[in-house]
Structure 1
Amino acid sequence: MRRLPLSEALGLRTGARHSLHRLYRPADLVVLGLGVMIGAGIFSVAGRQAATTAGPGVILSFMIAGIASLLAALCYAELASAIPASGSAYTFTYVLFGEVWAWVVGWALLLEMQLAAAVVARVWALYAAQTLADLGLSLSLPPGVLTAFILGVLTLTAAVSARIGLRALWVIVVAKLLAIGAVIVVGALHFDAANLGGFIAPHQPASNPPDTLLGLVVGPTGTFGWFGVFAAAPAIAFAYIGFDIVATASEETLDAPRAVPKGMIRSLVIATVLYIAVAIVMVGMVPYTRISESAPLAAAFAAVGENAMVHVINIGAVLGLTTVILVLIAGQTRIMFAMARDGLLPRGLGTLSRRYHSPSRVTLVIGVTAILLAELAPVLMLEQLVVIGTLFAFLAVSAGVVVLRRRMPGAPREFSVPLSPLLPAVSVLATLWLMVNLSVQTWLSFAAWMALGVLVYLAYGRRRSLLAAPVASGRGRHRR
């Protein structure tokens, strides 16, 4: 269970060719977080969950999911402050728990981000085609072509220059925030408190056998009522996932120990407020029994005579999904870069381009893989795998705070989780609650992916790790 020394995790182990350049400032990190957390889901998730699971109580569901995410964000913030490295949860785990656990967490993160990029790109293609059709500009292109197009463009953007990607991110994030602001303001003009009813909708018994891990243990819980409020929270938590990607930018951030925790928490708080505001508008415009599941917000605006807002929503969704893909590619690049730099993946992926001064090679590998996944795999049916991969990393990070306090009590940090170890323990429990509400099929698929990861580690990473190299050779590291 060899552990990476903290001094090496902080970047003292590599030459200039392997070190990422500092680029991000505190405001950039907030934009990075908003870029990945706010996508098309802000226009649809509240309506779907209100119509099918929670009713007007979906507002409370957003608050519950936001609190659970905030607890994990606080834990991420402390570890990012103490270990500001590009590998995020992978590197945290390498320092605190050891190489095997680091590989497992890194393997889960690769599943999360690679699959998420493919899923979001497929959804982007659908929204883009619909937007063009609504504007009378239909190009009659199949979704597969649009999917490959957006992944190709954003992969090249990330591969050529992180600075160019950051500038593009700023422009698109500002544009989509303006679209969201328009939705909130115009929707508020049509808010009717009578549509909230009793706020907590009457409970309805389950009509189908449970398919979640929790359902198999406690039996069917039904929908709506307080059961529905809590049952909707795991699905809504998917909307908040992404704040953790801010930590992957640590190595490229000026004054990272101070800036990364602030950027992570601020972006999550802003995203939570925006999601709740849209949820309030959604359930206030029309009764939850009349909400359309396929296009809830657009249908609600059409029902109150605001047809022009449909175009705003579609354009906002396309812009939102564009930034999600870009940040996912950039975040996964940093994690694979760190894993390759440590020898657990081919070392060639852990180098910087001499021409562009960015990890171009690994970025291109990620982009091509995402295109193949999006074109050949039923990625839209595997969305929950993105969630479980992220939540698995949340568990490791929450437990890591406790381990950091015990093993490295004197390690310098600019942020500390209050009420530790209580809040990290609550974060673990909240994360487990979200995980057991995922489907049994998702758990089985995740177990299969992790089993494959263990085999890959045993066959490749265990012996090629730089920690496994003899110190006498001049290439090795300290054994712990």
Structure 2
Amino acid sequence: MNLFRTKSIEQMRAAAENSGMAKTLGAFDLILLGIGCVIGTGIFVLTGVAAAKYAGPAVTISFILSGLACALAGLAYAEFSSIVPASGSAYTYTYASLGEFIAFIVGWNLILEYTVTASAVASGWSGYVTGLLQSAGIEVSHALTHVPADGGIINVPAILITLLLTFFLIRGTQESTKLNRILVFIKLAAVFIFLLLAGPHVNTANWEPFMPFGASGIAAGAAIVFFAYIGFDAVATSAEECKNPSRDLPIGIIGSLVVCTALYVIVAGVLTGVVPYTELNNPEPVAFALRYIGYNLGSAVVGVGAIAGITTVLLVLLYGQARIFFAMSRDGMVPARVCKIHKRYHTPYIVTVLGAIFVSLIAGFAPIGLIAEMANIGTLSAFLVAAIGVMVLRITKPDVPRAFRCPLVWLIAPLAVLACGYLMAHLPLDTWIRFLVWCAFGCLVYFGYSYQHSTVGIQQRKIRKLKKLRTDA
């Protein structure tokens, strides 16, 4: 069995050119797309939890370490995106460099990442909106806002926001981008309002001790806050809708990472400087900090910004999930019928709807606390493989035109592998077990369906059959 057959870069470029999707995105749109997915749950929720339970004020270093791991992988992504301007992110890159079977497993894990993370974010959105309504004196049904495991029946708000954003995604990338722009500016305004109001109240005494949990606490914090960066690779999934992908994708990937890391570090520093880190273990640490120093109105404004922030995260995750599905279905890894492009809106509407249904079912009915940890390990594994793939492609295809070349690739790529591997090693054993079970299930899908239906495999079989006929003749 030829498990490591690769798809040619020329084939990928041709497929991208003839995908039928509208090319409407520029570099600025891609940076906002990255910010839309990265700045959300991490900055409005995870910062406080990581400070209180893992790293203390040194959570700023935890964010830098996670950001560095993403930046190292991001440089590899940027080079790949300039070579293979096709949807699919690390799945597509792996198909071109390491072969079909590894690419399938990477794509399988990316689908897990986007689906589980989107479900978690949809549930978080529901919690924020429910809390806001209750604080305004509006009665909310517990049965209709919680999953059965939490004493409810169904999480209706989580399902409704998922379906609403799916409607925008089907209507077109340009319309979704406009919505993303508006929501990104709202949440960035909320972040800057927080910094403006809280900055003057920073008390450096709150930064002592700076490392209450030691170096191991910083490392554990980095593994936890990595969740805050999940989704920056969604920028790479937009390749076939970019006006100039070879130029704009590297700018979008690196630009969004730089902006997001800077904001995370600054907000974490101000947050732990205003409130003692021991008091930050709550679901709304940024809003809590403003109430702590007496800005109740500012707290409400930041709460609205947090909802906008979480909405953009969900929007981009649903977008990225559909593009991964689209790329895999086009290659025959999943049924090709779901690969259709809408004649009017030029979007992959069937996979968008199917993905939204999966997300809605998980968010509406399933307890996702334990499953959400799998998003980290799935993403890290994809980053690790992408870093290996860029080195392999430097050896196997050194003459392929590269609009962007990863600087010091033989230093950067190995460091990316080590950084991602280090963070994976700090994840719980249960997470590893569930990850391996998911991969085993993926192997059953690959050998039961994908291997026989692979477009590359079908082409190779046709060529062999033609050669045999010629030989017999």
Q: TM-score range with shorter-chain normalisation? A: over 0.9
Q: What corresponds to 2:208 in structure 1?
A: 197
Q: What corresponds to 1:44 in structure 2?
A: 45
- Letter in structure 1 aligned against 2:397: M
> In the TM superposition, what is the alpha-carbon distance from 1:433 to its structure 2 partner?
0.7
Q: What corresponds to 1:20 in structure 2?
A: 21
Does 1:64 pair with 2:75?
no
Q: What corresponds to 2:438 in structure 1?
A: 449
Q: 1:185 aligns with which of 165, 171, 196?
A: 196
RMSD: 2.0
Q: What corresponds to 2:375 in structure 1?
A: 386
- Letter in structure 2 aligned against 1:197: E
Structure-to-structure mapping, 1:378-457, within 5 angstroms: 378-457=367-446
**Normalised TM-score (structure 2):** 0.92
**Judging changes above 3 Å, is the alpha-carbon distance between structure 1 residues 305 and 395 closer, same or farther for their aligned structure 2 residues?**
same
> In the TM superposition, what is the alpha-carbon distance from 1:311 to its structure 2 partner?
1.0
Q: Are the equivalent residues in 2 in contact too, given 1:134–1:311 (CA < 8 A)?
A: no
Q: Are the equivalent residues in 1 in contact too, given 2:162–2:360 (CA < 8 A)?
A: yes
> In the TM superposition, what is the alpha-carbon distance from 1:293 to its structure 2 partner?
3.4
Does 1:92 pair with 2:93?
yes
How many residues align structurally?
454
Q: What corresponds to 1:163 in structure 2?
A: 174
Task: State the SS of the aligned residue for 1:358.
Answer: coil
- Letter in structure 2 aligned against 1:419: L
- Letter in structure 1 aligned against 2:194: V
Q: Are the equivalent residues in 1 in contact too, given 2:55–2:218 (CA < 8 A)?
A: yes
Q: What corresponds to 2:6 in structure 1?
A: 3
Structure-to-structure mapping, 1:315-330, within 5 angstroms: 315-330=304-319
Q: Are the equivalent residues in 1 in contact too, given 2:42–2:229 (CA < 8 A)?
A: no
Q: What corresponds to 1:77 in structure 2?
A: 78
- Tell me the distance in 2 between the aligned counterparts of 1:316 and 1:120: 15
- Tell me the distance in 2 between the aligned counterparts of 1:303 and 1:71: 37
> In the TM superposition, what is the alpha-carbon distance from 1:56 to its structure 2 partner?
1.2
Q: Are the equivalent residues in 2 in contact too, given 1:27–1:263 (CA < 8 A)?
A: yes
Structure-to-structure mapping, 1:72-221, within 5 angstroms: 72-140=73-141, 142-143=144-145, 144-201=155-212
- Tell me the distance in 2 between the aligned counterparts of 1:139 and 1:289: 31
> In the TM superposition, what is the alpha-carbon distance from 1:472 to its structure 2 partner?
8.2
> In the TM superposition, what is the alpha-carbon distance from 1:378 to its structure 2 partner?
1.7
Q: Deviations over 1:359-394 (max 9, x none)?
A: 111111111111111123222321111111111100
> In the TM superposition, what is the alpha-carbon distance from 1:248 to its structure 2 partner?
0.4
Q: Deviations over 1:147-183 (max 9, x none)?
A: 1110110111111211111111111111111011101
Q: Are the equivalent residues in 2 in contact too, given 1:129–1:138 (CA < 8 A)?
A: no
- Tell me the distance in 2 between the aligned counterparts of 1:272 and 1:410: 34
Q: Deviations over 1:390-449 (max 9, x none)?
A: 111001111011111101111111211111211100100000011011111111001000
Q: What corresponds to 2:321 in structure 1?
A: 332
Q: Are the equivalent residues in 1 in contact too, given 2:390–2:413 (CA < 8 A)?
A: yes
Q: Are the equivalent residues in 2 in contact too, given 1:120–1:325 (CA < 8 A)?
A: yes
**Judging changes above 3 Å, is the alpha-carbon distance between structure 1 residues 295 and 357 closer, same or farther for their aligned structure 2 residues?**
closer
- Tell me the distance in 2 between the aligned counterparts of 1:438 and 1:31: 30
- Tell me the distance in 2 between the aligned counterparts of 1:198 and 1:470: 63
Q: What corresponds to 1:225 in structure 2?
A: 214
> In the TM superposition, what is the alpha-carbon distance from 1:96 to its structure 2 partner?
0.6
**Judging changes above 3 Å, is the alpha-carbon distance between structure 1 residues 40 and 15 closer, same or farther for their aligned structure 2 residues?**
closer
Task: State the SS of the aligned residue for 2:334.
Answer: coil
- Tell me the distance in 2 between the aligned counterparts of 1:471 and 1:192: 67
> In the TM superposition, what is the alpha-carbon distance from 1:477 to its structure 2 partner?
12
- Tell me the distance in 2 between the aligned counterparts of 1:67 and 1:137: 43
Unaligned runs of 5+ in 2: 146-154, 468-473
Q: Are the equivalent residues in 2 in contact too, given 1:43–1:278 (CA < 8 A)?
A: no
Q: Deviations over 1:109-161 (max 9, x none)?
A: 01000111111101110001111222334554722110111011011111121
- Letter in structure 2 aligned against 1:92: Y
Percent identity, aligned pairs only, is 39
- Letter in structure 2 aligned against 1:284: G
> In the TM superposition, what is the alpha-carbon distance from 1:299 to its structure 2 partner?
2.7
- Tell me the distance in 2 between the aligned counterparts of 1:133 and 1:384: 29
Q: What corresponds to 2:151 in structure 1?
A: none
Q: Are the equivalent residues in 2 in contact too, given 1:58–1:229 (CA < 8 A)?
A: yes
Deviation larger for 332-341 or 297-306: 297-306
**Normalised TM-score (structure 1):** 0.91
**Judging changes above 3 Å, is the alpha-carbon distance between structure 1 residues 372 and 130 closer, same or farther for their aligned structure 2 residues?**
same
- Tell me the distance in 2 between the aligned counterparts of 1:269 and 1:346: 38
Q: What corresponds to 1:469 in structure 2?
A: 458
> In the TM superposition, what is the alpha-carbon distance from 1:304 to its structure 2 partner?
1.4
Q: What corresponds to 1:246 in structure 2?
A: 235
